[in-house]
Chain A
Amino acid sequence: MKEMVNELIHYRELLYILTWRDIKIRYKQSVMGFMWAVFMPMLIVAAGIIMKLAFSFISGKPFNVMDLASISVKALPWSFFIGSIRFSTICLTANSNLVSKIYFPREIFPLAAILANLFDFVIASSALAVILAVGNIGISLNILWLPILLFLLVVLTAGIAFVLSCANLFFRDVKYIVEVVLTFAIFFTPVFYEASLFGKWSSLLLANPVGAILEQINNVVVLHQPPDLFWLSYAATFSFCLFIASWFVFHRSEFLFAERI
């Protein structure tokens, strides 16, 4: 474990450079430039609003600004999550030239994919922060929980990314499965709705650690409440255990990468 961390620290500059490469290429290729970072989450928010409007039309409850804030605050981390998973699943096969011709710790690839998406997330969040300030949503000390929650989300994402990138190298159709799962995952994750909507079934939704983290983010940013400590510690334990386990799996199979790619 210690040497795995040391090796990563030794190669940290390469991690920055590869992240910078991913970002640079993304922004070079798309005409919209920085708009890209905002565009994807905007689509998700728009979908959420349409759904919410439909709901309020049926149930007769009015649609208020709080709902809108909730949806956007949860849509951004969600978009970061699916973007990272999507990119990191293919990161090893997309860099096959590097994997088979040059040596450095392969963990760098999924991590760089996540960091590049984090960059998009930061840009989109700054835009959202302005909107929330204008919308007069208010702020409380509970917002100090936010960095911790985001850190948890990154750890969880990395844990999933390690396993999936590895799996996709050995079995090339994993990426299609991931794509399908990600498309449907939004129905099983409280992004457009609150878990509490489901009453006693809500724990089922929160057992999904991404859902648990998103709900806590909503709590601290929009509802000005402290996070639910039970679900927070559940998500934290889950994330760290998964991260360590999948890092080991990744590290153990690393020596096969160049041969099998």
Chain B
Amino acid sequence: MSETALELNNVWKKFIKGERYDSLRDLIPAVFRNTLSGNRSSELSGMEFWALKDISFQVRRGEALGIIGPNGSGKSTTLKILSGILRPTSGKITVNGRLSALIEVGAGFHQDLTGRENIFLNGSILGMKKEEIKRRMDEIIEFSGISEFIDTPVKRFSSGMYARLGFSIAAHVDPEILLVDEVLSVGDMWFQEKCLEKMLSFKNKNIAIIFVSHNLESVNVLCSKTALIKKGTLRTIGDTAETIREYICSNQEEAVDVATENSISNVKLLNMKNELVSICYPEQKCRLTFKIRCDKPFEECQLGFLIHRLSDGLSICDYNLPLNSIKRADSSGDTADGAIDFDINLLRGSYSVSLHMYHYPSATFLTRVKNIAYFSVEERVSWHGVTHISPLLHSIG
């Protein structure tokens, strides 16, 4: 068996935007109109767009490739092409081995059938033989953790239970190639953890995985290699931490800051040597610099300083700092340059910074800038969790 499990070579995919004629009632008048005016080709080509542009990559056995990118950038389209649901407009794909794709969990479920019946149905849709399903039935039910409800019609399931059952089936298909598309996000965190562990064990069994997720932490844990797709083009492919950083920073470029009456602009994250940073380390000191414009007396205002973890939106901190410690650029003007110094007492992850200005006499937000800066924390050693509490192991006495 060859070492490469999946390969895409210069794959392009074209879609048609907007309404299509999907009934004879619309088609017949349209055909008449077009033959009369005779300009059908120009009209059509304006509606077409490239959902994928020249994508090439390969995945080897035992390797997990992460794919990240904003919504609508073509991640699902890539997976659908690999699994044979869509055919590329041009380019070549090679698939070596039994492929199982989880484009959407429970896509094959039927509402009126019970969980157990749906295991049979979905199992065979994913390519399992009946004997195989019977043999692994208990294992699947056990893994899903919903044995209590297994004989209930799935229309009474919550979406999380749906996802649990769907993933359990797909995880027991024994694929040689597994494609997973943003399907775990509905499960609770324990189940997500369990799935991640299962996929990690797949890697050791020499199974090739493509994992599409908005949970950057999971991508980081599972995948050694990650691809960033934006607007149908493959921006980068390579080391996961590197790609995630690129993804986070590329968002930063797009953040626009216009100076209005009250504004916060020119936000920069620096280290103590005044160099721009996007990767920090625990115990490092950082400085966030910005320019504010505020038409209220500074003594009446507060600066809100918030940090969120990107993977799950956890609020790491939410400070309100009195603005009177900042001096105006010139005594009459309403602008000022300021900075916040803070310690990175955080563990591995990607974080975003938001700022706002609050005027408390009138109880209004003067301005709010969400996710104005991003950074990720890397560790020299493997520590996991949220905050860095500087533990020290030593002997006593």
Binding site for B on A (CB under 8 A): 13-14, 17-18, 21, 24-25, 28-29, 97-98, 100-104, 170-174, 177, 255, 258-260
A101 with B23, Cβ < 8 A, contacts A14-B124, A24-B117, A259-B15 known: no
B150 at the interface (CB under 8 A from A): no
> What residues on A are CB-neighbors of B24 within 8 Å?
171, 173-174, 177
Contact between B130 and A13, CB atoms less than 8 A apart: yes
Which one of B22, B101, B104, B112 contacts A172 once the chains associate, using CB atoms below 8 Å? B22
A258 touches B23 (CB 8 A): no
* Min CB–CB distance B388 → chain A (angstroms): 42
> Are A260 and B20 in touch, CB under 8 angstroms?
yes
Chain A residues near B125: list those with CB within 8 A: 14, 17, 98, 102, 104
* 27 A/B residue pairs, CB under 8 Å, sorted by A: A13-B124, A13-B129, A17-B120, A17-B121, A17-B124, A17-B125, A17-B130, A18-B121, A21-B113, A24-B117, A25-B110, A28-B112, A97-B107, A101-B103, A102-B83, A102-B101, A102-B103, A102-B126, A103-B101, A170-B22, A171-B27, A172-B23, A173-B24, A258-B80, A258-B85, A260-B20, A260-B22
> Is B338 an interface residue, CB under 8 A from the partner?
no
Instruction: Specify the chain B residue showing the minimal Cβ separation from A95.
Output: B108
Cross-chain contact of B108 among A13, A98, A174, A260 (Cβ < 8 A): A98
Which of A24, A100, A104, A174 contacts B113, CB < 8 Å?
A: A24
> Given that A17-B120, A98-B107, A172-B23 are known contacts, is A103 also in contact with B112, CB under 8 Å in the complex?
no
Q: Contacts A13-B129, A21-B121, A255-B87 given: A102-B22 contact, CB under 8 Å?
A: no
A235 to B145, CA, bound (A): 55
Q: Chain A: interface secondary structure? A: helix
A97 CA to B118 CA, complexed, in Å: 15
Cα–Cα, bound, A177→B125 (Å): 31
Alpha-carbon separation in the docked complex, A41 to B120 (Å): 31
- B159 to nearest A CB, angstroms? 15
Complexed CA–CA distance, A14 and B123 (Å): 9
Q: Which residues of A contact B238 (CB under 8 A)?
A: none
Chain B min CB distance to A49 (Å): 35
Interface residue total, chain B, C-beta cutoff 8 A: 30
Chain A residues, Cβ within 8 Å of B22: 170-172, 260
The number of A-B residue pairs with CB atoms under 8 Å apart is 69
Q: Is the interface of B mostly helix, strand, loop or mixed?
A: loop
- With the chains together, A122 CA to B311 CA distance in Å? 56
Q: Which residues of A contact B20 (CB under 8 A)?
A: 260
What residues of chain B lie closer than 8 Å to A21, measured between beta carbons? 110, 113, 117, 121
Cβ of B25 under 8 Å from chain A: yes
Chain A residues near B87 (CB-CB < 8 A)? 255
Which residue in chain B gives the minimum CB-CB distance to A169? B22
With A24-B113, A102-B85 given, can you name 16 additional A-B contacts, CB distance below 8 Å?
Answer: A13-B130, A17-B124, A17-B125, A98-B108, A98-B125, A101-B85, A101-B108, A103-B84, A103-B85, A104-B127, A170-B22, A171-B27, A172-B23, A173-B23, A259-B86, A260-B22
Q: Hey, which chain A residues are within 8 Å of B110, CB to CB?
A: 21, 25
Q: Which of A21, A25, A28, A173 has the most CB atoms of chain B within a 10 A radius of its CB?
A: A21
A25 to B: closest C-beta gap in Å:
5
Residues of B within 8 A of A174 (CB): 24
- Chain A's nearest CB lies how many Å from the CB of B120? 6
Please determine whether B86 and A102 come into contact, CB atoms closer than 8 angstroms: no
Residue of chain A at shortest CB distance from B129: A13
What 7 A-B pairs come out closest when comparing CB atoms? A101-B107, A103-B84, A255-B87, A173-B23, A17-B124, A101-B103, A258-B85
A255 partner residues in chain B, CB cutoff 8 A: 86-87
- B104: which A residues are within 8 A, CB to CB? 97, 101
